[in-house]
Amino acid sequence: MSFSNADTGSKSADPYKAANIDAAELKEKVEDLVSFIDSCKFGMMTTRIESSGLLASRCMALAAKEGGGIDLLFHTNTESGKTDDLKSDDTINIAFLDSDGQWASISGQASIETDRETIRKYYSPTLKAWLGDLGDGKHDGGPEDPRIGVIKVNSKTATYAVTSKTKLGRGYEVAKGTVTGQSPNVNKLRELTEEELQEWRKTNS
């Protein structure tokens, strides 16, 4: 089911997308996405709350990547609300944004990894600051602390926009568009389908 509130005939109803969509090769699309994610370091993780069905987002630091860079891993306290959300609905979105307005949105399915081998592999001593030491010899924020888990996001689709233009150049394009009514070409708007991401994993994992 789709929503529409206009009939523009043969003309594009979304001229911004038409002006900025960039059909690059798979390698370039993935490598530029991974590079952008690395530059951001922090993303907003969105999950669905079981009791209300509402969405909740929180800032998360990227811990690692797998699948040739497209599957994202985040540390978590297994006793937190987001793990409750993911137990009832593993659908997840991770969004990244920088100060230049470049952005990425990655949708997928999440799993909560708790096996010690995985935890030790991706453990960071800074986790102690977030979990604390409860003084019982077990819940100390170390790699054997059972509260430490890893949320692994298996990416299904991705959409992102990056640019090589300066702020001045983009400002000029917007100003020109305001005068002419033509949508400005300011970003490389790219989409990665589930099939493309699966293809990338097969040859880069």
Contact assessment for residue 204 and residue 67, using Cβ atoms and an 8 Å cutoff: yes
pLDDT per position as a tens digit, 37-78: 999 999 999 999 999 999 999 999 999 999 999 999 999 999
Average pLDDT on 85-101 reads 96
pLDDT at 182 over 70: no
How many residues in the chain? 205
The amino acid that residue 107 corresponds to is: S
Rounded distance between C-alpha atoms, residue 44 and residue 63, angstroms: 14
Rounded distance between C-alpha atoms, residue 178 and residue 164, angstroms: 21
Among residues 106, 101, 82, 85, which one has the least CA distance to residue 29?
Answer: 106
Residue with tokens 């523009």: 8
Average pLDDT across the chain, whole number: 90
Among residues 101, 80, 74, which one has the least CA distance to residue 167?
Answer: 101
pLDDT at 175 over 60: no
- Give the start-end residues of each E strand in 42-147: 42-48, 55-66, 71-77, 91-97, 103-113
Average pLDDT on 97-109 reads 95
* pLDDT band for position 179 (cuts 50, 70, 90): low
What is the pTM (predicted TM-score) of this model?
Answer: 0.87
Rounded distance between C-alpha atoms, residue 94 and residue 205, angstroms: 21
